[in-house]
C-alpha cells in the first residue's frame, strides 16, 4: 500500500479489501470490461427460462397482476400512508412474500428470474408496495435464507415466508448510510459468553417499526481493530430494551411503507441469534443488497412500462394545434427514448437474475450498475410522462405526482447512486492495479507483464456476430470497450493512489462501464431475438427497432463521457464550490445536530 495515503484512505482500502475482495478473485462479465475484454460465455446467449419454469412463472405473474388490480389501491395507500393488512395477508397467501424461499421453509421455491417478473408487475402498480415487498423478501428474508442456520430457519422462516410475520433489515444509522462501515451500534459479549448486549440506534428502516424479525447490524469486539467488526443479529421486538421511537416516519414518497426508527438500550440477544459469522456482518449486508438491487431494477422496469403506456395513450388521444400529441417530434422522441431505456433496464435485470439462478459467484458490480441505470432512467421517464400529460398530469387525480415522489427514493435507497458510480470505477481500479503490479518476479518479467496488460486496450475485443443486422453494433460496442479500458488505465497511471479522491473521473468512468454493461445485455438479447424463428415478425420488428435505438443512444452517451474525460470544467467547479462552501455562508450551522439546521 502506498506510503503517502492518509490514515483514513488506508483504513478504507483495508476495509474494502476485506469486505469485497477476500479469497481468490472471481471472474465476471463486468470485471472483464475494465481490461477491455468481452466475456462471451457470460453474456451470450441471452437467458431463457425452461418451459416448466416459465409456465410456473407465467401463472404467478398472472395471479399477481389480478391481485394488484383488484386489491391494491396505490392512491389510497399513499394518502393514508399505510399498506392495509389485507394486502399484506393477500400477498402472503399468493406466495409473493416467500417466493424464492424453499418449500420446506414455507416458500414456493421459485428463482430470482421469476421473482423479478413478479416484482415488475408490482412495480408498475404501487411504489410503496414494491418497496415493502423488496425490504421484506429481497433483503429481510434473504439474509436468513442465505446465512441462517437450520435451527434459525426452522424457528422463524415459515411464518415470514407465508407473510404471517414481517421481516426487516436494520443497517442504517444516524452516522451510517451509504457509508455502511460507519455503524456505531455496539454489541458487547456477556461475561458468561451466552450472548451479547446491544446499544445503539437504527433509523430509516423499511418495516423496522412493524417487523417481527429484524436483522440488526452491530459492532462486536475484535482483536485486529479497536473499532471492532460488524456482526449481524436476529432480533425480535419483544426483547427487553427494544424501543420503537417512530414506527412510520413522514417522508416525500413511498408513504405507504412503514419507515421506522428504533433504539436498543442494554438489549440482551442470545448468541444463537448471531446470523452468519461473528465479524462478517457487513459482508453479509453487501451480499444481500445484491439481491435487493436486482429487484430494484425489476420494480423500476414495471413503473417505466406503466409510464410508457400512459404516454402513448395521451399522445394518441390529446390534440393540440390541429394534431395529436403523437404527431409532434418532441413528444415522439420522449416516448422512443423511454421505450429504449426501459428495454435496456429489463434486459440487464433478467440477465443478472439468471446469473443468480445459475449459481454464479459474483454479480456485485452488475447489480450496482442495474440499480444506477434503472433508477436514473425511471426518474427521467416519469418526468417526461408528466410533461406529455401537461397540465392535466400536474393534478392529483392522475398518478404522476405520486410516482415522481416514489421514484425519487430509488436514487438514494440501497446505496446512493453517486456512491455506487464511484464504487464501480474503484472496483476496476483495484483489479487493474493488482494486475499491473504483477507478481514481482523480476524487473523484466514484471514490465513485460504490465506492457501486455496495457496493450490489451489497443485491440478491440472480438464480439460474436450471429446475425448480419448486429455487425455494426458489434463493432461500435467493441471499440468503446477497448476505449474504456484504456481510459481506466490512463487514469490509474496519471493519478495513481490519488484516483481515490478524483470523483469526477470516477463517476464518468463508472457511468461508461454501466452503459457498456447495459448495452452488452441488449446486444445479447437482440442477437437471440433475430435468430429466433418463433417470434411473430411485427413483434420482432418492434423489439429490434427499440433495442437498436438503445444501442445508438448508449453509444452517443458514452462518446460524450469520453470527451468529458479530456475536456471538462472540473477545476472551475471546484473553485466555485470552494467559494460557496467556505466564503459565503455563516458556518454556525455546521456543528448543529441534524434536524436543527436552519433552512
Contact 531, 318 (CB under 8 A): no
Beta strands in 133-177 (DSSP E): 167-170
Write phi, then psi, for 177 (nearest 5 degrees). Answer: -125, -100
Q: Which of 465, 472, 469, 475 is nearest to 540 (CA)?
A: 469
d(CA 43, CA 354): 11
- 355: which residues sit within 8 A by CB, 6+ positions away? 42, 363, 366
Beta strands in 343-502 (DSSP E): none
Q: Which of 173, 261, 346, 414 is catalytic?
A: 414
DSSP type of residue 593: P
Residue with cell 415522489: 405
Q: Helix H segments across 410-470?
A: 417-437, 443-455
d(CA 363, CA 348): 12
d(CA 298, CA 283): 24
Which residues make beta-bridge pairs with 198?
A: 187, 267
Residue 141 burial (10 A CB sphere; 0-12, 13-18, 19+): buried
* Cell numbers representing residue 491 in the block: 487514469
Q: Kind of pairing, strands 225-235 and 213-222?
A: antiparallel
Q: Which of 419, 464, 344 is nearest to 352 (CA)?
A: 344
Q: Which of 554, 543, 548 is nearest to 516 (CA)?
A: 554
Q: Which of 546, 523, 598 is nearest to 39 (CA)?
A: 523
Is 414 one of the annotated active-site residues of the chain? Answer: yes
The neighbour count for residue 455, using CB atoms within 10 Å, is: 11
Q: How far is CA 390 from CA 134, 303, 327, in A?
A: 32, 19, 16
Residues, the chain = 599
* Cell numbers representing residue 389 in the block: 400529460
The neighbour count for residue 205, using CB atoms within 10 Å, is: 23
* Cell numbers representing residue 519 in the block: 448495452
Q: Kind of pairing, strands 186-189 and 195-206?
A: antiparallel
Angle between the N-to-C axes of helices 329-358 and 281-317, in degrees from 0 to 180, rounded to the nearest 10: 150
For 312-321, which contacts have Cβ atoms below 8 Å and span 24 or more sequence positions? Answer: 314/388, 314/389, 314/393, 315/388, 318/390
* Cell numbers representing residue 119 in the block: 416484482
- Identify the three-state secondary structure at position 29: helix
Q: How far is CA 249 from CA 127, 220, 262, in A?
A: 17, 29, 11
DSSP type of residue 165: S
d(CA 557, CA 466): 26
Catalytic positions are: 414
Amino acid at each position: 500500500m502506498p506510503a503517502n495515503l492518509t490514515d483514513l484512505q488506508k483504513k478504507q482500502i483495508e476495509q474494502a479489501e476485506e469486505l469485497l475482495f477476500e479469497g481468490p478473485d472471481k471472474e465476471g462479465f463486468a470485471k472483464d470490461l475494465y481490461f477491455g475484454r468481452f466475456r462471451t460465455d457470460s453474456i451470450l446467449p441471452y437467458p431463457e427460462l425452461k418451459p416448466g419454469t416459465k409456465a410456473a412463472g407465467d401463472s404467478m405473474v398472472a395471479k399477481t397482476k389480478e391481485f394488484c388490480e383488484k386489491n391494491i389501491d396505490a392512491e389510497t395507500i399513499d394518502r393514508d400512508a399505510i399498506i392495509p393488512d389485507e394486502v399484506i395477508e393477500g400477498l402472503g397467501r399468493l406466495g409473493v412474500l416467500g417466493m424464492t424461499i424453499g418449500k420446506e421453509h414455507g416458500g414456493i421455491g421459485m428463482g430470482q428470474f421469476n421473482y423479478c417478473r413478479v416484482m415488475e408487475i408490482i412495480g408498475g402498480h404501487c411504489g410503496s408496495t414494491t418497496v415493502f415487498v423488496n425490504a421484506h423478501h429481497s433483503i429481510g428474508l434473504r439474509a436468513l435464507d442465505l446465512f441462517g442456520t437450520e435451527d434459525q430457519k426452522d424457528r422463524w422462516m415459515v411464518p415470514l415466508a407465508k407473510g404471517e410475520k414481517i421481516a426487516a433489515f436494520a443497517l442504517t444509522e444516524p452516522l451510517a448510510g451509504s457509508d455502511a462501515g460507519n455503524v456505531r451500534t455496539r454489541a458487547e459479549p456477556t461475561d458468561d459468553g451466552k450472548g451479547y448486549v446491544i446499544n445503539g440506534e437504527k433509523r430509516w428502516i423499511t418495516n423496522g417499526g412493524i417487523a417481527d424479525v429484524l436483522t440488526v447490524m452491530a459492532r462486536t469486539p475484535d482483536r485486529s481493530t479497536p473499532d471492532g467488526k460488524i456482526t449481524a443479529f436476529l432480533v425480535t421486538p419483544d426483547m427487553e430494551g427494544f424501543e420503537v421511537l417512530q414506527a412510520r416516519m413522514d417522508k416525500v414518497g413511498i408513504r405507504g411503507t412503514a419507515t421506522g426508527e428504533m433504539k436498543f438500550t442494554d438489549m440482551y440477544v442470545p448468541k444463537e441469534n448471531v446470523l452468519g459469522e461473528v465479524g462478517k456482518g457487513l459482508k453479509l449486508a453487501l451480499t444481500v443488497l445484491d439481491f435487493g438491487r436486482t429487484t430494484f431494477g425489476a420494480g423500476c422496469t414495471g413503473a417505466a412500462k406503466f409510464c410508457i403506456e400512459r404516454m402513448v395513450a395521451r399522445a394518441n388521444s390529446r390534440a393540440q394545434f390541429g394534431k395529436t400529441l403523437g404527431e409532434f417530434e418532441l413528444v415522439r422522441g420522449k416516448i422512443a427514448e423511454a421505450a429504449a431505456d426501459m428495454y435496456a433496464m429489463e434486459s440487464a435485470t433478467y440477465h443478472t437474475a439468471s446469473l443468480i439462478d445459475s449459481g454464479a459467484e459474483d454479480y456485485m458490480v452488475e447489480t450496482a450498475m442495474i440499480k444506477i441505470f434503472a433508477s436514473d432512467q425511471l426518474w427521467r421517464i416519469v418526468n417526461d410522462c408528466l410533461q406529455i400529460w401537461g397540465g392535466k398530469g400536474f393534478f392529483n387525480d392522475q398518478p404522476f405526482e405520486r410516482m415522481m415522489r416514489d421514484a425519487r427514493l430509488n436514487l438514494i435507497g440501497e446505496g446512493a447512486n453517486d456512491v455506487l458510480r464511484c464504487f464501480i470505477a474503484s472496483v476496476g481500479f483495484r483489479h487493474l492495479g493488482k494486475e499491473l503490479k504483477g507478481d514481482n518476479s523480476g524487473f523484466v518479467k514484471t514490465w513485460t507483464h504490465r506492457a501486455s496488460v496495457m496493450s490489451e486496450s489497443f485491440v478491440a475485443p472480438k464480439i460474436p456476430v450471429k446475425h448480419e443486422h448486429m455487425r455494426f453494433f458489434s463493432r461500435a460496442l467493441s471499440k468503446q470497450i477497448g476505449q474504456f479500458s484504456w481510459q481506466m488505465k490512463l487514469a490509474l497511471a496519471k493519478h495513481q493512489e490519488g484516483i481515490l479522491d478524483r470523483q469526477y473521473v470516477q463517476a464518468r468512468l463508472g457511468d461508461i462501464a454501466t452503459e457498456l454493461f447495459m448495452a452488452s445485455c441488449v446486444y445479447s438479447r437482440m442477437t437471440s431475438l433475430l435468430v429466433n424463428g418463433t417470434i411473430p415478425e411485427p413483434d420482432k420488428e418492434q423489439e429490434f427497432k427499440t433495442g437498436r435505438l438503445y444501442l445508438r443512444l448508449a453509444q452517443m452517451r458514452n462518446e460524450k463521457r469520453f470527451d468529458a474525460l479530456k475536456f471538462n470544467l472540473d477545476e472551475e467547479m471546484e473553485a466555485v464550490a470552494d467559494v460557496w462552501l467556505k466564503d459565503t455562508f455563516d458556518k454556525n450551522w455546521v456543528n448543529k445536530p441534524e434536524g436543527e439546521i436552519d433552512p
